[in-house]
Structure 1
Amino acid sequence: MQAFEYKVMPAPAKGTKAKGVKTPEARFANSIEILLNEMAAEGWEFQRAELLPSEERSGLTGSTTNWRNVLVFRRALAAEKPEAAQVPGRGAAVEFRHSEPPLTATAGAPEAPGSATPGPGAGAAKMQSGDGAEELSPVSGVTTTLKNRAARKGDGED
């Protein structure tokens, strides 16, 4: 199966002047053309343009939704290392490796494949380990206090 990496960048907001290009529409098209040709020279294939919402802060406590135009490009990853791929980040490339965790399923899970091993999920296993996180809560003693009060009420105290 062919693997790809993707690059999303903002679409140009204004046109670029060039000889013989007079109208604002033609200048804008020229900006898009220049960008597409630059990306193609680097091996990126244009996929599509998207208009996507971006929630941004407005003032101290408010937020607004601005719509952003972005261009989506892709290129094929090298087939030499299918388990590792180079993903361009900001400034430096970051390598990631994808490995599948062993299949586990909770009892009666309808989405579990037939080859899954029955057992607790990661969250349940962590809860069973008793790492003491519940003792760090600011109300950690409330349950004990309520049990003591209930016991005293049963004894006729309070």
Structure 2
Amino acid sequence: MQRFEFKVIPAPRRGEKARGVKTTEERFALALTNLMNDLGAEGWDYVRADSLPCEERAGFTSTKTTVQNVLVFRRAIPSAAAEAPASSRLLLQDPAATPAPRLGPADAPVAGTAPALGPAKLDAE
């Protein structure tokens, strides 16, 4: 079974200036192209764009809802890591690198005066 990891990033809000790119649409397309090519070079595949509501504070006591535009990318997790649950991926280290616990008799107790155990006694008795 193929497993994936996902990355969600904010969509660009402005275009990028470049030689020969004049209109707002062309500049915005250039910003998206550069972003997608950068993430593609890292192995991320574009999945989709979403517009999601986000609740923000407005003043001390009120809130307002805004819309956030995000881009969703995914990449395949290598098969060796895909077989292990996410919580145990960190445990895939070489066990020989960690020292083994010392086994043997417990240290001898140190002689001393310990307080008496049992119900409290009054000194006046």
Scaled by the length of structure 2, what TM-score is found? 0.67
Q: Any unmatched runs of 5+ in structure 2?
A: 90-125
Paired letter, 1:56:
E
- Written as runs of structure 1 = structure 2, the 5 A alignment for 1:3-152 is 3-81=3-81, 82-85=83-86, 96-97=87-88
Cα distance, 1:84 vs. partner? 3.6
Q: Structure 2 counterpart of 1:28, which letter?
A: F
What letter corresponds to residue 76 of structure 2 in structure 1? A
1:37 CA drift (Å): 0.4
- Output the CA distance in 2 between the equivalents of 1:28 and 1:68: 17
Please report how far the alpha carbon of residue 17 of structure 1 lies from its aligned counterpart in structure 2 after TM superposition. Answer: 0.5
Q: Distance in 2 between matches of 1:9 and 1:43?
A: 15
Max Rg structure = 2
Structure 1: tracts of 5 or more residues without a match: 86-95, 99-158
Aligned structure 1 segments of 4 or more residues deviating by more than 2 angstroms: none
Which structure carries more relative contact order (alpha carbon 8 Å, separation 6+)? 2
SS of equivalent to 2:80: coil
The CA deviation string for residues 74-112 of structure 1, in whole angstroms up to 9 with x for no partner, is 000011132244xxxxxxxxxx249xxxxxxxxxxxxxx
* Matches of 1:97 and 1:75, distance apart in 2: 19
**CA apart distance, 1:19:** 1.0
Tell me, what secondary structure is at the counterpart of 2:79? coil
Identity of aligned residues (%): 51
